[in-house]
Structure 1
Amino acid sequence: MAQTIRHFGGNRVYGVGGDFAANLIKALEGTLSVCPSSNEMHGAFSACAQAETQGMGFCLTTYTVGSLPCLSAAALAMTESLPVVFISGAPGEAEVGPLAIHHTVHARSSWQTQYNNALQAFSAMGMRAERLQGQRSAGQPNMAGERFFQLVRHAWQHKQPVFVEIPRDQVFQKTQALKPLSLFTDSQDNGQILAGSELIARQIEHKLQASHHPLLYIGDGVKHNARLKALLIQFAERFNIPFATTWFAKGLFDEYHPLCLGAYNGLFSQNPSRPYIEKQMDYVLDVASSIYAQDTNTAFSTGSHFIEAFNNKTVLKSTVALEQDLVELFGYLCQADVRRFEPRMPPALSPLVADEDKLDFHNLAAVLNHLQQQDPRPYLYLPEVGNSYFASYGLRNRLGGVGRGWLTNPWYGAMGTSLPYARQVCRMIRDLDLDDIAVLITGDGGFHFQCNELIELQKDGAALIILYMRNNLFHLGKSSDAPIYYCNDDAFDVHSLISAYGGESVHCERVGDFRRHFRRFVEDRRGIRLIEIPCDPSPEYQCREIALLNLYIRSQNGDEEALAEWQKMIQSE
């Protein structure tokens, strides 16, 4: 198992121990870093971040009571196309019989034992789920090692999670010896077998020759393929073609690249992408966006997504493992007979916010962008789902050694992922001695949902800056002020909490104070550092993305006043 995990690029496994997982931990700990998590769900979320940043993720838990809490992360991994291997201990084969075993889903009134509930639950997600088996007779080989390799290989090749249960009495049994191929050889064996790439490239070449203001529009289907991403940048630079990403592909490319227009999403965009795309663009090369339109990624189906409705475009989707079809195609396109274009790129400078101004969601992105413009070290933003997530689309990110400038789960939108994600990122920064600065942005609800993971960050000695946008009252997409929306208490003392975890925290209401403390924490680069920012839910302190989304959700919920305002705004766009 350890050999297979190392072969596919894994150097650590996140999770929580347990009796059925004890042998697995003992088997792995000498070869891999077995990292404890505050609970199973957080361990699984950290494994998702590991898959995002290192290509594969690994999570280890005990039988059912440990594996079932990982189902939300498994759904996230399926949705975000993450190759995560969920490993669970299981009762030994000799233990399975008419006696009900602890941790099984077995009520007092049950008439039969159930051992496959976790397998069935993970399988219901559409992922491969399998329990490894031992030797069945003296004349047959033990195939468990080869089966484990094939399951991990499936996750790596198809960018999908898998679930593997391993009986505890099989962990130290002899199995067939493995001599796996190198990743390079493996990828070539599963390479491009489709014909026609040259014909497609020629058609795109003709389209580009007839264009004056083309756009390369990139989706999140490229995120696991470093070679393809490099080819896309090579293509853009060779012909001087501006590029933009979908919302879901934000953070994959350096938004300080002179040809980058940032992430585009119709009227929800407030960056240089809109003027060029909606006023100049005359041809779109759409690469690796979703096969089926996704509401969040198409301006919430408001009809304002210019590219979605644009006719003169070529749409390229990969149907081959490891995107070998797109890799081959862009190899041809980089040699195309096309002139260099002369785009009129819109300015991307962030406005300077006055030191005495109140800091809130409405100007947070502008303040951080100005700080990043002055700092060559890349800030890696980790927004929590909610207000922080939508406000973060106004951020302009650099790309550092981690390979991401912005990291969350934008499509599935699971709350409580930012600290587990930050844990993986901070470990990577420390282990590789990178100059990336991890900056987590969260509100009250997301912070309380996951703050028990702070103990693991403290144990890791993680260097993390947390921007705590304190509003006490949830104010995204609601129709009332019911008690369920109160996600904090006025008496909550976040500073005592951070101090208990060995960190430092400050309270900032004005932009100038924030700049001073943020710069100090960036230079400090050690421990947990939190900046508490009191937020006002009034409309004037909401950023454009949050204000639009609140209006849109209210209109979708049947609010007549919001519906009229929304229709008026759509018509004026």
Structure 2
Amino acid sequence: MSDVIRFFGGQYIYGVGGDFAANLIAALSVNEHGEGIQINPSSNEMHAGFSACAQAEVDGMGFCLTTYMVGSLPCTSAAALAVTEGLPVVFISGAPAESEVNQVAIHHTIHPNASWKAEYDNALEAFSALGMRVERLQGQRVEGHPNLAGQRFYQIVSEAYKNKQPVFIEVPRDQVFAKTQPIKLPSTLDDICCGSNILAGTELIVDNILDKLAQAKAPMLYLGDRLKHNEKLKHLIISFADKFNIPYATTWFAKGLFDEYAPLCLGAYNGIFTQTTGREYIEQQVDYVIDIATSIFPQDSNIAFGTGTHKIERFDNKTLLKGGSLLEKDLIAIFERLMEQNISPFEFTAPSQRGLTALSLQLESNELARGDDDIDFNNLAQTLNDLQAQDASTYVYLPEVGNSYFASYSLKVRQSILGRSWLTNPWYGAMGTALPYARVVAQRIKSQQIAERAVVIIGDGGFHFQLNELIHFLKDKSDVTIVYMRNNVFHLGKSGDGAIYHCNDSEFDVHSLVKAYQGDSKTCTSVGEFKAYFKACSQQTGISLIEVPAKPIEARQSNELKLLNLYIKSQNGQAEAVKAWQALTQ
């Protein structure tokens, strides 16, 4: 198991200990000879799963280890996230010994006391219900027959890697130290697949693209989130764009994969919700689109929430390259062939850097963040963009689902050495991921000694939900800046004033909490204060927290959220909202 995990790039496993996992922990952990894998403890099993998801985002594969049932079942939330985001995460659980599986109920099992039958497969069935591949490894069935548990472990992990989907594996505790038939691992990761692209028609596709490029004056590449685990294809696409001077934009879900400061990058496009300077060029000048590795099925939040304002979604002169083979080898073959072609570079001049005001389409505009302005969601992104523009170090943003998530789409991000400079959970597959994700990012930044900074943007609702993970920042001696947007309520989706929406109390002292974790913190109310302290945080070690007293009113919302709320109101038939929406979109 250790050999297989290392073969797929796993240097760490995130987990929580337990009795049925004790043998696994002993077998996998680094021994006195330096052999094995580092097992990083988490504050709970769900956070271990979330950290494994972040590991998959950053490293290409993620690994989580828990005990039987009481440990593995809390990971189903993280597993749902991995299914939704297409993350190859291997959830490993200890399990009862094969000799213990009988009609006697034992601890950890889900077993009503009036039942005639002991259920041992509840966890397998729960993960299977999420659409995952699940299996409990088996030992030797008959004396003299081979034990194939090692081979099966490799086959299941390789399936996660190839299909970019999570898997769940239970390991009976009496099998951990049992002898198994040895396996010979492939030479490279490329060798686990069927070799090269097996889909025919590459020449026809390339010829079609060449014909359309010959007739185009302003072509564009539109890049999707299926690229996020394929560094070779990402490099090929950017090389193609640079060689022939073709600009590119990403979907919302692919934000952070590329350097938005690059001359050819038009930012993340999502119809009317786009707040970047590239929007006008995309909607008014582009005459041919090559759509690469976007989702096969339309996703509402990726195509402007189904508002009908996403011009690329409805663009007629478009070539769709979705990627149908394992590890997108068909797309790699296409771009390798395109790079060999004699194409005249196109003329392209990046759109002028006008402020966001011209693109806010008559809503209350995001003005440039002045030093004496109150800091809030409406100018948070612009403030951080100003800071990033002045700082050669890259900020790796980790926004939590909620107002922080929507406001983060106006962030202009640099390329990170980690491959992702904006890392979140855009499908809301699970809440409470920002700090477990940030832990992994901060660990990688520290281990690689790179000039980057993990920056969490989070409301008080999300912060309270996961702040127990801060203990591991202290233990790991990791550096993080937390922008704590405090309004004391679950604001996104709030539909009343009931107690259920009030996630905080005005008497809560976040500074005392941060001090307990040996961190530094400050309350900032103005843009000037925020910028000054944020710069100081970037030079500090450990945990730095900036408390921003946010006001849960429409005037303080980000443009993206204002637009979404207006659209929802218009869909609900509110007359003024219908009129305002029509004015924006017609």
TM-score, normalised via structure 2 length: 0.95
Query: Structure 1 unaligned runs (5+)?
Result: none
Is 1:29 equivalent to 2:29 in the alignment?
A: yes
C-alpha contact 2:9 2:59 (8 A) present in aligned 1: yes
Distance of 2:102 and 2:80 partners within structure 1: 31
Instruction: Assess if the C-alpha contact under 8 Å between 1:352 and 1:370 holds in 2.
Output: no
Q: Matches of residues 433-512 of structure 1 in structure 2 within 5 Å?
A: 433-512=449-528
The aligned counterpart of 1:389 is 405
1:357 partnered with 2:373? yes
Letter of the 1:278 counterpart: E
Q: Structure 2: how far apart are the matches of 1:562 and 1:82?
A: 42
Letter in 1 for 2:80: A
* Secondary structure in structure 2 of the residue aligned to 1:388: helix
**How do 1:118-517 residues align onto structure 2 when only pairs under 5 Å count?**
118-187=123-192, 189-348=194-353, 352-517=368-533
The whole-number CA distance in structure 2 between the counterparts of 1:349 and 1:568 is 25
- Quote the Cα distance in structure 2 between the aligned partners of 1:358 and 1:394: 18
CA gap 1:547/1:314 in 2 versus in 1, 3 angstroms? same
1:457-502 CA-to-partner distances (Å, cap 9, x unmatched) read: 2111110000000111232233322322212111111111111111
Amino acid at match of 1:33: Q
User: Whole-Å Cα distance in 2 between the matches of residues 554 and 348 of structure 1?
Assistant: 32
Cα distance in 2 for partners of 1:272, 1:183 equals 42
Match in the other structure for 2:12: 12
1:524-561 per-residue CA deviation (whole Å, 9 max, x = no partner) reads 2x1010000011122221110111122233444x3524
The code of the aligned residue for 1:84 comes to V
One-letter code aligned to 1:45:
F
**CA distance 1:568–1:315, change in 2 (3 Å):** same
Seq. identity, % = 58
Cα distance change on mapping 1:562 and 1:470 into 2, 3 Å: farther
Q: Which one-letter code corresponds to 2:492 in the other structure? A: L
Q: Of residues 536, 539, 564 in structure 1, which corresponds to 2:578?
A: 564
Shift of 1:444: 1.1
For 2:364, the equivalent position in structure 1 comes to none
User: Which residue is equivalent to 1:3?
Assistant: 3
2:440 aligned counterpart, secondary structure: helix
Structure 2 contact 569–578 (Cα < 8 Å) conserved: no
Choose the corresponding residue for 2:68, options 63, 68, 72: 63
Contact in 2 for aligned 1:552/1:566 (Cα 8 Å): no
d(CA) in 2 for partners of 1:389 and 1:451? 18
Deviations 1:291-342 (A, max 9, x none): 0000000000000001011111001111110110000001111222322111
**Corresponding residue of 2:92:** 87
Deviation at 1:185, TM superposition (A): 4.5
- Whole-angstrom CA distance in 1 between matches of 2:175 and 2:538: 48
Cα 1:562–1:155 change in 2 (3 A) is farther
Output the CA distance in 2 between the equivalents of 1:11 and 1:199. 42
**Quick check: 1:542 aligned with 2:561?**
no
Secondary structure in 2 aligned to 1:402?
Answer: coil
User: SS of 1:66's equivalent?
Assistant: coil
What's 1:533 paired with?
548
1:551 to 566, 578, 584: 566
After TM superposition, the structure 1 = structure 2 runs for residues 28-47 of structure 1, keeping only pairs within 5 Å, are: 28-30=28-30, 31-47=36-52
TM-superposed CA distance for 1:204, in Å, is: 0.3
Q: Is this contact kept in 2: 1:476–1:550, CA < 8 A? A: no
Normalising by structure 1, we get a TM-score of 0.97
- 2:377 match: secondary structure: coil
The amino acid across from 2:474 in the alignment is: Q
Residue equivalent to 2:33: none
Cα gap change, 1:475/1:555 in structure 2, threshold over 3 Å: closer, same or farther? farther
Q: Is the 8 A contact 2:485 2:549 kept in 1?
A: yes
Give the RMSD, CA atoms, in angstroms. Answer: 1.4
* Matched-pair contact (CA < 8 Å) for 1:400–1:435: no
Residue 246 of structure 1 aligns with an amino acid whose one-letter code is T
Give the 3 Å change call, closer, same or farther, for CA 570–477 of structure 1 in structure 2: farther
Q: 2:534 aligns with which of 518, 536, 542?
A: 518
Q: 1:22 to 1:44 in 2, by over 3 A?
A: same
Going from structure 1 to structure 2, the CA distance change for 1:333 and 1:206 (only over 3 Å counts) comes to same
2:190 and 2:492 map into 1 onto residues whose CA distance is 49
Give 1:394 shift.
0.3
Alpha-carbon distance in 1 for matches of 2:339, 2:239? 7
* Structure-2 change in CA distance of 1:348 and 1:54 (3 Å): farther
Shift of 1:69: 0.6
Distance in 1 of aligned mates of 2:235 and 2:573: 47
Aligned 8 A contact 1:190 1:321 in 2? no
User: When the two structures are aligned, how many residues end up with a matched partner?
Assistant: 570
Structure 1 residues 512 and 567 mapped into 2: Cα distance closer, same or farther (>3 Å)?
Answer: closer
Q: CA deviation at 1:72?
A: 1.1
SS of 2:378's partner is coil
C-alpha distance in 2 between matches for 1:139 and 1:562: 79
Q: Distance in 2 between matches of 1:181 and 1:187?
A: 7
Deviations 1:124-167 (A, max 9, x none): 11111000001112110111011001011100111110000000
1:179 offset after TM fit, Å?
1.6
Q: Which amino acid aligns with 1:23?
A: N
CA-CA distance at 1:191 after TM superposition: 2.7
Q: Is the 8 A contact 1:472 1:490 kept in 2?
A: yes
Structure 1 runs of 4+ aligned residues shifted over 4 Å read 349-352
| Partner Cα separation in structure 2 for residue 399 and residue 451 of structure 1 | 28
- Partners in 2 of 1:218 and 1:442 — Cα distance? 27
**Whole-Å separation in 2 of the counterparts to 1:193 and 1:177:** 30
Contact 1:191 1:322 in 2 (8 A): no
CA–CA distance in 2 between the matches of 1:248 and 1:287? 13
Letter in 2 for 1:295: D
